Amino acid sequence: NLNGKVIAEPSREDIELPIEEHLIVEWYSK
């Protein structure tokens, strides 16, 4: 269980970062 949790945390950050970058790119595109 601990192993799964440790792997899930970095995965979450990896998913959140690209989304933020996409929003910033869209914001500057307007």
pTM of the full structure: 0.29
Task: Read off the pLDDT of residues 1-30 as tens digits, 9 standing for 90 and up.
Answer: 566 565 656 666 666 666 777 777 777 777
The pLDDT value given to residue 22: 75
How far apart are the C-alpha atoms of 23 and 12, rounded to whole Å? 17
- Residue 3 is predicted with a pLDDT of 62
Distances (CA, A) of 14 to 6, 8, 18, 19, 20: 13, 10, 7, 9, 10
Domain boundary assignment for the chain: 1-30
Residue 10 burial by Cβ neighbours in a 10 Å radius (0-12, 13-18, 19+): exposed
